[in-house]
Amino acid sequence: MTSVPSIEQRIVGFTLSNFLADRRERIITEWLEKVQADRGVPAADGLTLTQLKDHIPQLLDDLNRTLDDALNPEVKAKVAGRAATHGYLRWQQNYDISQLIREISDLRTVMIHHLAEFHDERVTTINGERGVFAMVVLHSFFDKMIRISVEEFINASKANEGKA
């Protein structure tokens, strides 16, 4: 996203941000259930709900801030820091890279369902480029989260190999 969002695109981003903020606890609950049921993430079975949930609420807040102001460098830096923390924590919690990616993908899947509900409720206000902008911001957020989390996971793994 190199161009500045239009007023209409920013309004859709802000509206989606509020919509998701209102559903925050529901999104977290749905994600927790999805990860716990995902047999491809066996490391989650050994975590308490608090450990599994860890900073996911803050990541959702970061997504909302990104939807509100997609080009803000401070928001981008905060998102990058939290994504790195997520990758490092999951490495400490005996995840492998596949499980890390699946867990984030499970969160994206939950978000896509809520995005679809948002679209259904507001079809006249988010069609065309305005709606595409919000989807691009959301998916770019998760792509960046996966990329940075995996990079940090790999860095932690390499650093640990050097200590062995």
Q: Enumerate the domain spans of the chain.
A: 7-158
> What are the mean pLDDT values of the chain's consecutive 10-residue runs (164 residues total)?
74 91 97 97 96 93 92 89 96 96 97 90 66 86 96 95 71
Measured CA distances, 101 to 56, 65, 124, 139, 152 (Å): 14, 23, 34, 14, 13
Neighbours of 159 (CB within 10 A): 11
Measured CA distances, 144 to 39, 51, 110, 162 (Å): 24, 22, 17, 27
- pLDDT at residue 5, as a whole number: 81
- pLDDT at residue 102, as a whole number: 97
Please name the residue that has the structure tokens 């977290």. Answer: 28
pTM here is 0.90
Contacts of 82 (CB under 8 A, 6+ apart): 55, 58, 59, 62
Q: Which of 131, 82, 142 is nearest to 108 (CA)?
A: 142
- pLDDT at residue 49, as a whole number: 94
Neighbours of 120 (CB within 10 A): 8
Structure token pair of residue 74: 């401070």
Domain 7-158 fold is: Globin-like (1.10.490)
Chain mean position to CA 49: 18
Contact in structure between 143 and 108 (CB atoms under 8 Å)? no
Distance CA 40, CA 140 (A): 24
Contact in structure between 44 and 99 (CB atoms under 8 Å)? yes
Q: What is the DSSP string of 98-138?
A: HHHHHHHHHHHHHHHHHHHHHHHHTTTTS-HHHHHHHHHHH
